[in-house]
Structure 1
Amino acid sequence: MKHSDFKNNIVRGPINAWVFKFLDGYMNYLFGKSKRKLFKNHPETIVEIGSGTGANMRYLTKRTNLIAIEPNIYMHNNLKKNAVKYGINLEIKTMVGESIDLPDNSCDFVVSTLVLCTVNNPVTCINQIKRILKPSGIFVFVEHVKAKEKSILAYIQKILHKPWHWFFEGCHTNRDTKSLLESAGFNTLEIEAYNLYSPFIPITSQIRGKATK
């Protein structure tokens, strides 16, 4: 890791951990309905890419086994607290989504919410998700995406990208995640595109859905 990357991590890591904890209730208001629908009837064990502070635990059945892929160590304390609060059996793996140390064809259910925008190599991360999924395993997602070309929102995404990218640990305001998922070769793919209106204007263009291996 370069010195500049290390310095950024020790500055942004604690800030982002605090921000996500502070916004927890509001994010539940924005995304709760979608997530409850996507997570419905989830299996006993799930893998979550980028678990953050554990905001999604409230949508899981008690005693669910959660394998949390979370590279930001400053998120881990709140992850553990939320696991106790919601009765979740937690295993934290401090690694990035592009390099997951789980066996091939070993997972029934993988979750990603507002994470594929932040990984350095989304194609590699999606391929890792496919790799660890069992045949007919399910991947559910909620992600913000690139806005329609030449729209006002696309212009806003462009001008705010650099400061947004720095503050939110590498988040891309205008990543075309929808196209990446469509070209990933999943056996089935259901995507719903929509606008989620909130004060966070750069991320109002969103998708949600599920894929099977």
Structure 2
Amino acid sequence: MSKEFKNNTIRGPINAWVFRVLSGYMDRLFGKSKRKLFKNHPEMVVEIGPGAGANMRYLKVGTRLIAIEPNIHMHANLKKTAIKYGIHLEIKEIVGESIDLPDNSCDFVVSTLVLCTVDDPEACMHQIKRILKPSGVFVFIEHVKARENSMLAFIQNLIHKPWHWFFEGCHTNRNTRQLLESVGFSRLELETYNSYSPFIPIIPQVRGRAIK
């Protein structure tokens, strides 16, 4: 999440409530993809920007989750969700650009609809790659910049400012696909697709796995 929105006393609680309310709908929208990506995950998972904990439903009971979540207004919901799903939760109130985990220390890192919000996505991606062990896996679902001169691109550009203000600093038109391709993973399995919903600015999306 952008530092601009970290601990914001107005937008922080609003976003925490919105994320909790939308959890079920987002499961219907992205759940099938997430279950496939999270399958056979290890005992410890690092998640960048878990929000209210929507992804915990896809983790095995007893999983240790290290949650990189700078928005303190999300933490109460994170803890409640961890209890609900039997997850051993550790919250780190830091941003994705400055993860305080050792090099080559993690087997599995998750990011879903988060890279759009960080101030420096390139730095965040390099942090993810740094903490992954050799052959470690980064799984992702992210919305991306639409094709130039398309109607989707027009809508993304038109609504960017209010969307950015309301949704944790989200950039509707960030070229996250290009970013993922540029980081230098040994293998990148990436699919671009359209999951249509009322949230038109976050169409299209990419999903996949990156192997260090």
Q: For 1:26-84, what per-residue CA distance to the aligned partner results, in whole angstroms no more than 9, with x for missing partners?
A: 00000100000000000000100001000000000000000000000000000000000
State the 1:6 CA deviation. 7.0
Where in structure 2 are the equivalents of 1:28-47 lying within 5 Å?
28-47=27-46
For residue 97 of structure 1, what is the aligned residue in structure 2? 96
Assess if the C-alpha contact under 8 Å between 2:186 and 2:211 holds in 1: yes
Q: Which runs of 5+ in 1 are unaligned?
A: none
SS of aligned partner of 1:189: strand
Q: How many residues align?
A: 210
1:1-213 equivalent positions in 2, closer than 5 A? 5=4, 9-213=8-212
CA distance in 2: counterparts of 1:144 and 1:6, whole angstroms? 20
SS of the aligned residue for 2:96 comes to coil
String of CA shifts for 1:12-35, please: whole Å, max 9, x gaps.
100000000011110000010000
TM-score by length of 2: 0.97
- C-alpha deviation, 1:8, in angstroms: 8.0
Q: How many Å separate the matches in 2 of 1:95 and 1:180?
A: 22
Secondary structure of the corresponding residue to residue 149 of structure 1: coil
Uncovered stretches (5+) of structure 2, i.e. residues with no partner: none
* CA shift for structure 1 position 113: 0.2
Identity across the alignment (%) = 75
Q: Is the 8 A contact 2:5 2:11 kept in 1?
A: no
Closer/same/farther in 2, CA of residues 43 and 117 from structure 1, 3 Å limit = same
Amino acid at match of 1:139: F
1:147-191 CA distance string (max 9 Å, x none):
000000000000000000011111000000000010100000010
Between the aligned partners of 1:32 and 1:201, the Cα distance in structure 2 is 18
RMSD, aligned CA: 1.3
- Structure-1-length-normalised TM-score: 0.97
Q: Secondary structure at the match of 1:138?
A: strand
Give, as a single letter, the amino acid of the residue that structure 1 aligns with 2:124: C
Deviating 4+ runs (over 6 angstroms): none
State the 1:7 CA deviation. Answer: 9.4
Distance 1:166 1:180, change over 3 A: same
Letter in 1 for 2:191: E
